[in-house]
Amino acid sequence: MMRAVRIFAVLVLIFLVSPILVIFPLSFSSGEVLTLPTPGWSLRWFQDFFLNERWLLATKHSVIVGLATMVVATVLGTLAAFGLYLSDFRGKKVVMAVLSLPMVVPVIVTASSMYVAFSVVGLTNSLTGLVIAHTIIAAPYVVITVLAAVQTFDMTLMRAALSLGANPVRAFIEVVMPMIMPGIVAGAVFAFATSFDELVIAIFLTGPEQFTLPRQMFAGLREMLSPTIAAAAVVMIGFSVVLLLITEYARTRGERLKQRAAGE
Amino acid sequence: MSSENPPKEQFVRFEGVRKSYDGTVQVVRDLNLSIREGEFLTLLGPSGSGKTTTLMMLAGFEKPTAGKILFDGQVINDMPTYKRNFGMVFQNYALFPHMTVAENVAFPLRMHRFPKSEQAERVTRALDMVQLHRIADRHPTQLSGGQQQRVALARALVFEPKMVLMDEPLGALDKQLREHMQLEIRALHEKLGLTMLYVTHDQSEALTMSDRVAIFNDGEIQHIDAPSEVYDRPRNAFVAKFMGENNAVEGTVTARDGDVITLRTAAGRDLHGTAVDDLAIGQGAQVLVRPEQISLGGLPADGFDSFEATVADKIYHGDHLRIVLEIAGLGQVTATFAHAEAELHPEIGQTLTIRWRIANALAFAPDGPAR
Amino acid sequence: MTRNSKAGLALIAPLLVLILAGFVLPIASTALKAFDNPEVSAALPRTTVALGQWDGAAPLPDAVPDAFVADLQDAMGNRAFGQMTRRLNFEESGMRSLFFKARRAAPGLERPYAQALAEVDPEWGRIETWQMLKTHSNPYTASYVLRSLDLRMEPDGTIVKVEPEQAIFVDLFIRTFAISIWVTVIAVLLGYPTAYVLSTLKGRMESLALLCVLVPFWISILVRSTAWFIILQREGPINAALQFAGLIGEPQAIIFTRPAVYIAMVHVLLPFFILPLLSVMKRIRADYVRAAASLGARPWQQFLLVYLPMTMPGVAAGALMVFMLSVGFYVTPALVGGLRDQMVSYYIAYFTNTTINLGMAAALSLLLLVMTGVLVAVAGKLMPGMGGKQGARS
Ligand SMILES: Nc1ncnc2c1ncn2[C@@H]1O[C@H](COP(=O)(O)OP(=O)(O)OP(=O)(O)O)[C@@H](O)[C@H]1O
Ligand SMILES: [Mg+2]
């Protein structure tokens, strides 16, 4: 019985990774069509990607928007998380609910509503508008991760620092920050990833001049299916894996810190 | 429970049981143990000595790597847990969070298909027994630690299991509640006459509750006997040192007269001890004296060792007094006194005579290198 | 309010303001847009006033055609007029040409205008045409929402079903929720055993298995949908492999079918189910199942009566996540599904970007939001363990 369940799980895991694994050989194919087995190997599609101005521009846009979103969402989200942790007022529940709305409303509704509203104030077809939109959908995740980190933080450590003569600001910077930093890093990386991967809002808010990498891929898919798309996908996978590694590093570091704090 | 028949001596038997999780480290080595019907047996030992593993094998959660476990004469190595019919109390209680207290207690009755009418009645009786009938409809998360503990107990007893296994069931409680629950469990044992196997690493708990105590170390039983025997007549140095406090004096055996040996310390001082281990002249040895066996004053007498000692420190402990004494050639020894006895009120720096019974100074081979 | 709370509120404020202005406001305006009906009153202000004074019953008072012709003469070449005709044409086809005909004729018309208009087109002589105009001169309308439910209002105010060839939206909603529910069910069936096995692993095996879930989780939905788009092509690797193996002669159409949508959506959403469930399972100590066994529960009872209920909060959280995400899915079905596999999101995008019928886009958005909310609330009532008060203790 347990054996059957294990085999089933392995099959599900294979299902989860296989499409990603299939993309790789296709992107290194020397053939014109996306088929396996590949006729031979080459880097021509990556060359195509990296020499094509549209793809490069899209990549640049994605990185710019991703970084801007990351900075704004992390700053605002971290501040809000601290605010939520510190305060206890009537209506706090309502505030929390409002802050988490962008996570539960279907993206398509968000995107179409933002498109209409942003066009009134001239924020469509602009990277600024896209950064604002991405910040709004990414910041709630920052709030959650940072709040979780702050809540597990043992406030007696802060008191200990104060009792040892640190002023509150020093105590915060030297004791609190290092402990919750992994939470903030995780939130920041997640914000970048959210923006970097986002397509639906980009469809609504960007014109060809502002295309991001996913938007360019989506356009490419509709025009003509060339192996350059597979190369672009591999580039995006590369970004994602790097981000995953950063998060895992931050997470294990955070756990180590917490364990050390617990004296284990 | 058949109260007419005499209790079975070998209700449960471990025969040459071994257990290794990873194939190399023997967590339990060659365990031979009989549990009597109706007795309260405690497994006591330091952390990692294999107590839980032993219990898990009896419960059926772990399979022995070698050897046999018999219940009532029948090998049960391969019997699944749910057929064994042993009630069990876990350290963290393992109360099902999605069921109310009453549902938790009714669970084993449902599993064993007790008639519906009887179920309700038994749940009520079990909850009465642990004085929890008023909170039958609450969920476990809404209970205090002590209440959870009692629910776990009621749940393990309600279906009249053939025996009850408990793995540090009081470990999560504070000291006062723990002592209270010790008495309650003990009373339940007496009332129900159930066989109970209890795991703890708190020695006072083991001594107060058990009919017999099995001292574990390194996957082996070092000594199994009634609490007073284990405490007063430990079979080896490990048991002596594990049970209660000791002053240890090391030296070389210089003479032997029957059980009594003479030990000479490195500083050249002689003292006597009653040999437990086989000790030959010329061999290294240690003599252990418990602090409460040392008395102040008193003249040298037959069967006693007495020394001149200087009071180095005096610590007040509320119910007793602890005095650190410096004895030339022996080093420091600690003695404890009830207040009534401490009328002498020794002052720090004062010199006085102390003595102890040689019969209470047990001599063992020196500790081997830790395994 | 304490000093801390004031400081706290000040820290929350920037994000709160951003979300209120950039998210809550747009969504609220979408909700209003679903009922907003400015076109007729903007293009025909005098007619709107006159229609307001009319009770809607025959005969038509002369004031209405008088005002109408006056408005038409002002409306030469203005954008509002065009928007109005498009709006009315959406209600009833043929309206656009009817109005343009009237506007072209307007400068040369003689009183009585009612008759003159009827000569331009007999439709203008019918009371129903004017009744319809009256209905839509109201600044609010239910017609977008009605249309999203395949209903429309007759000029006399009764609500009827639209013609069968126009009735696509009820099917669309049913399809959207059916696809979402099936995707959720499949994700639960695939994800539960997988999460369970993952929760039992230790060390290297655990890291490896977890990686198999985390890597897809972190890779963009578009990239994964693209992967399936490529794999499921007629000339794609799956067909090639099946042909190579001699299992099929001709390549089979997999892409642009419903199964393709299920495969890709389940693949995209499965990690969202596994990860929260895994964290719940990891917190359940072996003790609970052991306790059940010691109390006489057989293996299936241990699972059904103890383990499953204790993991239910994780199942609920994960399933809810999957369902909410899939209801709003756009990219994946757009890439691997056919036209008959598209969900509400496709039509929201279509009405927003292609036909620029913002009223319809808004009505569909509003209904999607409301229906999702209701469904989630109902599920919350029915599903055990979603209340959170009996969640597993760590
Ligand atoms: N499931 C397991 N897998 C591998 N090793 C285990 C497992 N359970 C216990 N061990 C190892 O077996 C040894 C004995 O463990 P056991 O739990 O029986 O000790 P114990 O006497 O109950 O200790 P404690 O007083 O700390 O509960 C320990 O070294 C432990 O690390
Ligand atoms: Mg143990």
Segments of chain A scoring below 50 in pLDDT: 264
Mean pLDDT of C193-211: 92
Query: Which helix (DSSP H) or strand (DSSP E) does residue A136 occupy?
Result: helix A127-152
Comparing CB atoms, the residue among B81, B96, B155 nearest residue C293 is B81
Q: What is the structure's pLDDT at C231?
A: 85
What is the whole-number distance in angstroms between the Cα of residue C286 and the centre of ligand 1?
Answer: 14
Give the binding-site residues of ligand 1, using a 6 Å CB cut-off: B 21, 27, 45, 47-53, 201
Neighbour count for residue C3 (Cβ, 10 Å):
9
Residue-wise pLDDT tens digits, C33-91: 899 888 888 888 888 888 888 887 878 888 888 888 888 888 777 788 888 888 888 88
Whether A26 and A38 have beta carbons less than 8 Å apart is answered as yes
User: What pLDDT, in 10s, does the model give residues C241-274?
Assistant: 777 777 777 777 788 889 999 999 999 999 999 9
pLDDT band at C125 (very low <50, low <70, confident <90, very high): confident
Give domain limits for chain A. Answer: 27-263
CB-based contact C287 B92, cutoff 8 Å: yes
CA B145 to chain centroid, in Å, comes to: 23
Note the CATH number of domain C169-393: 1.10.3720.10
Looking at residue A58, its amino acid is A
> When comparing pLDDT for C192 and B330, which is higher?
C192
pTM, 2 dp: 0.83
CATH of domain A27-263: 1.10.3720.10
Domain spans of chain C, in order of start: 39-141, 169-393
Supply the mean pLDDT for chain C: 86
CA-nearest residue to C302 within chain B is B82
Which chain A residues are within 8 Å of C25, Cβ to Cβ?
Answer: 117
Distance CA B50, CA C274 (A): 36
Residue ranges in B130-272 assigned as alpha helix (H): 145-157, 175-192, 203-209, 227-232, 237-242
- The 10s digit of each residue's pLDDT in A22-71 is 888 888 877 777 766 677 787 888 888 888 888 899 999 999 999 999 99
Instruction: Label residue C393 by pLDDT band (50, 70, 90).
Output: very low
| Cβ contact C–B (≥3 pairs, < 8 Å) | yes
pLDDT at C18 over 90: yes
Supply the ipTM of this predicted assembly: 0.88
Average pLDDT over residues B60-67: 92
Per-residue confidence (pLDDT) for residue C121, from 0 to 100: 87
Encode burial over C244-277: b for 16+ CB neighbours within 10 A, e otherwise: eeeeeeeeeebbbbbebbbbbbbbbbbbbbbbbb
Q: What is the pLDDT of residue B1?
A: 47
The pLDDT tens digits for B267-321 are 888 899 998 888 888 888 999 999 988 888 777 778 888 888 999 988 888 778 8
Q: Strand B260-264 and strand B270-275: pairing?
A: antiparallel
Higher pLDDT, C391 or A143: A143
Contact C291 B159 (CB under 8 A): no
- Its CATH architecture, for the domain B12-239, is 3-Layer(aba) Sandwich (3.40)
Task: Say whether pLDDT at B371 is over 60.
Answer: no
- From A29-43, A199-213, C286-300, C328-342, the region with the lowest mean pLDDT: A29-43
Three-state SS string across C178-223, please? HHHHHHHHHHHHHHHHHHHHHHHCCHHHHHHHHHHHHHHHHCCHHH
Confidence band (pLDDT; 50, 70, 90) for B344?
Answer: low
> Is the CB of B122 inside 8 Å of chain C's CB atoms?
no
Hey, whose CA ends up nearest to atom 17 of ligand 1?
B52
Q: What's the whole-number average pLDDT of chain B?
A: 88
User: What is B245-364's CATH topology?
Assistant: OB fold (Dihydrolipoamide Acetyltransferase, E2P) (2.40.50)
Do the strands C159-161 and B212-217 form a parallel or antiparallel pair, or are they unpaired? unpaired
The pair phi, psi for residue B86, each rounded to 5°, is -110, 125
pLDDT tens for A110-119 read 999 999 999 9
Chains A and B contact (Cβ–Cβ under 8 Å for 3 or more pairs): no
Contact across the interface for B111 and C301, Cβ inside 8 Å: yes
C267 CB contacts (<8 Å, ≥6 apart)?
Answer: A15, A16, A19, C216, C224, C228
Question: What pLDDT sits at residue A91?
Answer: 83
Query: What is the per-residue DSSP string for C340-390?
Result: GG--HHHHHHIIIIIS--HHHHHHHHHHHHHHHHHHHHHHHHHSTT-SSTT
Q: Which two tokens stand for residue C164?
A: 């069968």
A164 residue type, one letter: L
Per-residue pLDDT, B343: 61
Q: How far is the CA of B87 from the centre of ligand 1 (A)?
A: 21
Torsion of CA C347, C348, C352, C355, to 10 degrees: 20
- Closest-CA residue, ligand 1 atom 22, reads B52
